[in-house]
Amino acid sequence: SEPVVGTGSSRRKAEQAAAEQALKKLELE
């Protein structure tokens, strides 16, 4: 958890991408 200025949106995007990958992995299993 590092405070970065101006990268809140990209950080959220990364979290969403990770969540999507996790869901895909669950579907594949």
Angstrom distance (rounded) from CA 13 to CA 24? 16
| Residue type for position 24 | K
Amino acid in position 29: E
CA distance 20 to 29: 14
One digit per residue, the tens of pLDDT, for the chain of length 29 reads 566 666 677 888 888 999 999 999 998 87
13 DSSP 8-state letter: H
Q: What is this structure's pTM?
A: 0.54
